[in-house]
């Protein structure tokens, strides 16, 4: 079955530590996204990538970093500079049409990150 796999499901971070969240998709989608979900707030865009080896900051990129070396993979690193990292992190992908137009985003089942 095609889909998006996020791992781990739960992750704990110590003070001053960087942690990396994995996102892999086998939908052959070009575009991938990282969102953060906090209680009482909508999903907020952290980073997105429209194509391999290219990515752009979203609305809340500070304290995060990404890479896009392969089409299937878009890992997110939560650095020690992110002072409030406790949240539910969601990865999504989509396949914009040949004119760059909209296509729906499909989501993984998320990683819950907590501070130790």
**Smallest separation (angstroms) from another protein to the CB of 45:** 6
Q: Which residue has 């914009």 as its token pair?
A: 96
Residues 34-63 that bind another protein (CB under 8 A): 35, 40-45, 48, 50, 58
Our finding on whether 93 is near another protein (CB under 8 A) is no
> What is the DSSP secondary-structure string of 41-86?
S--EEEEEEEETTEEEE-TT-TTEEE--SBTTB--EEE-TT-S---
What is the DSSP pairing of strand 64-66 with strand 10-13? unpaired
Member of 1, 16, 54, 104 binding another protein (CB under 8 A) = 104
Stretch that binds another protein, among 13-21, 64-72, 77-85, 94-102 (CB under 8 A): 94-102
* CA 104/CA 80 separation, integer angstroms: 33
- Confirm or reject binding of residue 102 to another protein (CB under 8 A): yes
Lookup result for tokens 């990396």: 20
Residue 25 touches another protein, criterion: CB under 8 A: no
Binding site for another protein (CB under 8 A): 4, 6, 31, 35, 40-45, 48, 50, 58, 90, 92, 94, 96, 100-110, 112
């Amino acid at each position: 079955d095609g889909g998006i796999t996020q791992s781990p499901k739960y992750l704990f971070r110590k003070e001053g530590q960087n942690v990396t969240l994995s996102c892999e998709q086998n939908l052959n989608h070009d575009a991938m996204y990282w969102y953060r979900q906090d209680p009482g707030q909508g999903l907020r865009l952290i980073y997105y990538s429209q194509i391999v080896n290219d990515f752009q900051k979203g609305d809340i990129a500070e304290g995060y970093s990404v890479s896009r070396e392969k089409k299937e993979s878009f890992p997110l690193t939560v650095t020690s500079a992110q002072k409030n990292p406790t949240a539910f992190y969601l990865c999504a992908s989509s396949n914009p049409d040949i004119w760059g137009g909209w296509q729906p985003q499909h989501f993984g089942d998320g990683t819950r990150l907590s501070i130790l």
